[in-house]
Structure 1
Amino acid sequence: GGLAEEIERLRAEPGEGDIAIGGATLAAEAAALGLIDEYRARVYPVLVGGGIPFFPQHERRVDLELVETRTFNSRVHYLCYRVAR
């Protein structure tokens, strides 16, 4: 099956837990299908260029609600956003 079917299968399993999606291509597909409930980002104090964007251009707007934020001694910022539905 496809990604949507796999996510539904994992959600239907008993127990609690999160489904983590990593990688720009897989994350973009999950976002386009509306399968992401929460975004957990880490912002590092360095600028780099290149790579595959996690948020492709020309996609639909997704409104987010800030759930949690933390700053670590390393100056890394953790941001947790829930998708507003």
Structure 2
Amino acid sequence: MSNRAPVVRRSYATRPKSTLESSLQEPPKDSGGIMASSTATKRKLVLKMKEQPGNFILAQGGARFAQSLVASGLIDEYRMVIHPVALRRGQQLFSGLRSPVDLRLISATPFSSGVVAAVYQPA
């Protein structure tokens, strides 16, 4: 573990959290009690969070959650970690979109393992 791990963990622990989950009946204890389950409610909550001062909103979740954010046009910046592995199947991040989303490469950082960390913004 790096020397930064305790700082990152502390920073994460002190940030406000919201839960955008369809299957939970009540929000997790660390979510600040804010919860949204329907797509429309999720969109309203994310738009409200984007109006708040702060650095950024980190959205963690599976491919369907990411797809819903992409389709709603709610993503200002994509931070992707690309692993050089060809799979025969799996969830596609950009499947099911009604129209193409043009992205502009902001930065790319290659690692000796072949992994690339890339930052994109909507064009």
Is TM (by shorter chain) over 0.5?
yes
Partner residue of 1:61?
A: 100
- The TM-score with structure 1 as length reference comes to 0.81
- Greater strand proportion: 1
Alpha-carbon separation, structure 1, partners of 2:62 and 2:87: 17
- Greater helix proportion: 2
RMSD: 1.8
Q: Does 1:42 align with 2:108?
A: no
1:21 deviates by 4.1
Partner residue of 2:61?
A: 22
The answer to which structure, 1 or 2, has the higher relative contact order (CA under 8 A, 6+ apart) is: 1
1:45 deviates by 1.7
- The TM-score with structure 2 as length reference comes to 0.59
What runs of 5+ residues in structure 1 fail to find an aligned partner?
Answer: none
Contact between 2:102 and 2:122, CA under 8 Å: does it hold in 1? Answer: yes
Q: Which residue type is aligned with residue 17 of structure 1?
A: F
**Of the two, which has the highest radius of gyration?**
2
- CA offsets per residue over residues 4-39 of structure 1, 9 Å max, x none? 112112213332233324311111111111111111
Over the matched positions of the two proteins, sequence identity in percent amounts to: 33
1:58 deviates by 4.9
Runs of 4+ in structure 1 off by over 3 angstroms are none
Higher mean displacement: 15-24 or 3-12: 15-24
